[in-house]
Chains A and B, each alone.
Chain A
Amino acid sequence: MNTYVNIGKSEKRIDALEKVTGSAQYIDDIRIPGMLYAKIKRSAFPHANILNIDTSDAEKLLGVKAVVTGKEFAANFKNSFFGSPMADQPFLAVEKVRYVGEPIAVVAATSEEIAEDALDLIKVEYQLLPAVLNVQDALKNNAPLIHENTNNYRYSSNIKLVFNNNICSHIEIINGDIEQGFKEADFIFEDTFTDHSSHHVPIECRGAIAQFNPNGSITVWAPDQSPYGGRSLIADALRIPESKVRVITPTYIGGGFGGKLRLSGLMPIIAIAWKIKYHPVKILLTREEEFTSTTVRHAAIITLKTGVKKDGTIVSRHAKVMIDTGAYADRGPTVLGKISYGCTGPYKIPHVKVEAYCVYTNKVIAGAWRGYGIAQACWAYESQMDIIAMKLGIDPVDIRLKNIVDEGYITPTEKQEAHAVGLGKCLLQVKEDIFRKRKDRILENRVKGNGIACGYKISRTPSGCNAFVKLNSDLGADVFVSSIEMGQGVNTIFAQIVAEELTIPFDNIRVLPADTDITPFFPASTASRTTFFLGNAVKKAALDIKKQLFNIAKDILKADEQELSLKQGLIFVTKDPRKTVKISEIMEKTYPGGISFLGRGTFYHYKKENLPSHIKVKIPPTLVWMYASQGITIDVDTETGRIKILKVSAATDTGKTINPITCEGQIEGGVMQGIGHAMFEELIFDEKGKIINTSMLDYKIPSALDMPEINSILVEEPHREGPYGAKGIGEIVTVPTAAAIANAIYDAVGIRIKDLPITPDKLLRALNNKGKSI
């Protein structure tokens, strides 16, 4: 058993002091002399040809410095569509608009108010086109085409496109023979579950500052979960070298949850920065724009046909998936991939077929959202798991334990080896916490119920990354990484790792904000990958410094490097601890006048993206699996349909907990976001595809009054390659919540809700419908 000094300890967050004193810097706190302010003119229609844009009156307004339209920008940057994995999005709409809120033109002025006033002076002539507002309509034979020329777009070879209709991408996974599996089954269940669009609602609205520089380079200050991803998106679209684009993180980001990814909602800033040249220009989205014009969570329709043996063993599953990606692909094709791979849940299912479609509609763009599709899949498979358990008369915990993947099991969809499966432990802990205390089921018109659900997710590779650590002569250390601190606590985790390895005081360590000119590559602070992948790189960088120090110390102490140990900044001969030299002495004596020690760390795992039909593949050694289970106790008011969540027991497999208090914080916040999505958060579209609840009053997120008791349980099933065994937990903590609530409702009142969100009126209708499922 390893004993650690800093790892596993609830060290205080290294960003906490700045954040409680108001000195923490976010994008809106940056002031650059000469900075102009931009506002975006947006489409009022879901689908229309742009016949003409007249900006002349706007340009005449005192204080307006420039106006740029899509046509003008596209004339200078040919085919400048951006997007990954599919470049289908213009910086500003050129020939037509595809959703209400799509950027058409940008104004830069000396103040925000003037820019805002100028928007009203821009005249746009539209020719309206019929709009497609849901996936069913989009797939009809005579549906209007949203993108006429998808075959002209550049796209990743990893995705399969379907041309000349509104299908953005398609995935088919076949493993085994589902028909054979259904023959072997004693029971077959077929259920359709739907999930809705919701918004990340970070408390900080998105913003950015951009500047074109005289040497042709572009500098962007933006709260972006992927500074390198944002950089490559701009460079790729404008056909300029990536090194000419610099993306700087404004120290802190006021919440991300997958939304602030690759300059989502912010790309028009590049067009206006190009137009005004050499002046910094800033944009800050309003809360309304956050709702109408940044990415949202994918709505999904998932049908699961599942064959089961009498004893509860799952033998076959046929999944059909449709997701609504809105007007542009954004991350839709890869989110579709995660839902498709995730349709089995963390269960052994020999025969699987998945048919999945990512569909364009004339609505706001959907993108990455905490869980990346896995939450939608979990909503379906964990709801159905309870339907199966009830029918077969098997305990919901037992049926899950029976089917959970084992160590070394090759999963049917990803074709990857399951490793460090802490899910069984999570389930048993939750069962102990929730189901043990079953009592007082009926209290007047309030009925209690318990529900349980399990989630899993993998962090796909490659996720290569580097880290630098600089050890200063005063034994302070600076960590250079391109992860971003958006609240998840990653800076604190890295400080703990460096303190642990170099045995210097935790308080001496700083983590610098990401800057693509300074900090090295990291794909994105997404996919719960940062602690695992970048944590390894940081650890290696610290160990690199330790090796350099030992290399000098060995001569001073007259011993081999292997014979040396390090403790509290002191290097000593392990077998003869009297022979010592301090790190500070090494630095002072070897380099009089001063020096810093530079450590480098690289962590790279190439994971071939195996095509699902290729069954015989070599299984690479690493993939991070994340597991969680949640149990929820509710009571239902049968007169009003109102659901009160009494308690949540949330067990999460951390691999190895590096900082217990930040892990608990992730769980508590994840559960809360899960509750919000499951019970009341929903973007409501009118008949023209316009979102009508665009304020935090009309789109309610949980407040402190909605807060149930949450028991965060940290289970540790160490990962063989995680730093100290750790894995990420940021997404999995929100994944099982919705299904656990639905299962608790069934337990309480015998009603199965298959359509999120579960609002009181929906439940009341079902209750009044004499318990028939809706």
Chain B
Amino acid sequence: MDHSITLKINGEFYKLNVKSNVLLLDVIRDEIGLTGTKRGCDTGECGACTVLIEGEPVNSCLVLAIEVDGKDILTVEGLVKNGQLHPLQIAFVEEGAIQCGFCTPGVLLSAKALLNTNPNPTEEEIKTAIAGNLCRCTGYTKIIKAINSAAKKMQRKE
């Protein structure tokens, strides 16, 4: 049976008819067409499909679309504001925190959720925040450095 739901994704409202078993990940990628959210395992283990739901990082492959009816969702595409990259995105580019890029959207969103609640995290707090986002290329060193550097820059601006 189809359900009518409304999702607020990256500030825009989408009215959709979805089956009850459809995953949020599939809605974001296939219905909305935002393919920046990546599928890596379908079982919530790799973190590539991380999005923010009401500011909280969630594996979108573990969430049914009907569960988040009316919720505010942020995907990697929503990090750019008015054509400007988010400080985390700038830091990832500058610190070389990207290799194959497949985990990058998920890591960026976990990092954003961290900085929203903890603007000045320690290295251990950063590691814990991204522990659910697996990366096979970088060894995490430059990712941690980039998040730290973005945090510092964002604090200076405030």
Contacts and interface: CB of A to CB of B under 8 A. Distances in A.
Contacts of A667: 139
B102 A695 contact: no
A265 B27 CA distance: 28
Interface string A72-116: 000000000000000000000000000000000000000000000
Contact of B101 (A256, A257, A487, A704): A487
Contact of A12 (B45, B93, B99, B135): B93
Nearest to B26: A112
A254 B138 contact: no
A19 interface: yes
B100 A13 contact: no
A200 to B, nearest CB: 8
B75 interface: yes
B35 A19 contact: no
B42 A668 contact: no
Given A488-B99, A696-B45, A703-B131, A22 B140 contact: no
A571 interface: no
A400 to B, nearest CB: 25
Contacts of A162: none
A661 interface: yes
B43 A287 contact: yes
Interface string B79-115: 1100001000100111110111111110010000000
Contacts of B80: 21
B8 interface: no
A16 B139 contact: no
A586 interface: no
A203 B139 contact: no
Given A204-B40, A672-B139, A707 B98 contact: no
Given A22-B76, A252-B100, A697-B45, A201 B136 contact: yes
Interface string A422-466: 000000000000000000000000000000000000000000000
Contacts of A557: none
A672 B141 CA distance: 10
Contacts of B46: 203, 287, 696
Contacts of A695: 41, 43, 45
A17 interface: yes
B35 A22 contact: yes
A555 B89 CA distance: 48
A701 interface: yes
Nearest to B36: A22
B96 A661 contact: yes
B27 to A, nearest CB: 15
A68 B46 CA distance: 33
Nearest to B43: A695
Interface in A691-710: 695-697, 701-705, 707, 710
A286 interface: yes
Interface stretch (A24-32, A357-365, A378-386, A714-722): A24-32
What interface size band does chain A fall in? Answer: 35 or more
B144 A707 contact: yes
B60 to A, nearest CB: 13
Interface string B24-42: 0000010000111111111
A704 B108 contact: no
Nearest to A200: B136
A416 interface: no
B102 A13 contact: no
B131 A29 contact: no
Given A287-B40, A287-B43, A255 B98 contact: no
Contacts of A252: 100-101
The dominant DSSP class at the A interface is loop
B58 interface: no
Nearest to A201: B136
A670 B141 CA distance: 12
A669 interface: yes
A202 interface: yes
Interface string A653-672: 00000000110110111111
Contacts of B99: 255, 487-489, 665, 669
B19 to A, nearest CB: 10
The dominant DSSP class at the B interface is loop
A29 B35 CA distance: 6
B100 A202 contact: yes
B68 interface: no
B96 A10 contact: yes
B10 to A, nearest CB: 10
A707 B139 contact: yes
A15 interface: yes
A364 B42 CA distance: 22
A669 B102 contact: no
A253 interface: yes
B139 A12 contact: no
Nearest to A19: B101
Nearest to B102: A254
A376 interface: no
Contacts of A703: 130-132, 134, 140
B141 A707 contact: yes
Interface string A233-261: 00000000000000000001111110000
B39 A28 contact: yes
Contacts of A668: 138-142
B136 A669 contact: yes
B154 interface: no
A545 to B, nearest CB: 29
A704 B127 CA distance: 5
Contacts of B89: 20-21
B126 interface: yes
A23 B36 contact: yes
A667 B96 CA distance: 13
Given A20-B92, A22-B75, A203-B100, A287 B136 contact: no
Nearest to B94: A12
Nearest to B44: A697
B151 interface: no
Nearest to B138: A669
Contacts of B139: 665, 667-672, 702, 707, 710
A625 to B, nearest CB: 24
B143 A704 contact: yes
Given A20-B85, A256-B100, 12 more contacts: A20-B93, A20-B104, A21-B79, A28-B29, A203-B48, A203-B100, A284-B39, A670-B139, A696-B45, A703-B134, A704-B130, A704-B133
24 contacts: A12-B94, A13-B98, A15-B101, A19-B98, A21-B76, A21-B80, A22-B76, A22-B77, A26-B38, A28-B39, A203-B100, A203-B102, A203-B103, A204-B48, A254-B101, A661-B96, A668-B140, A669-B139, A696-B43, A696-B46, A696-B134, A703-B140, A704-B128, A704-B144
Interface of A: 10, 12-13, 15-26, 28-29, 200-205, 252-257, 284, 286-287, 486-489, 661-662, 664-665, 667-673, 695-697, 701-705, 707, 710
Interface of B: 29, 34-43, 45-46, 48, 75-77, 79-80, 85, 89, 92-96, 98-105, 108, 126-128, 130-144
The 4 A-B pairs of least Cβ separation, nearest first, read A22-B36, A487-B100, A254-B102, A19-B101
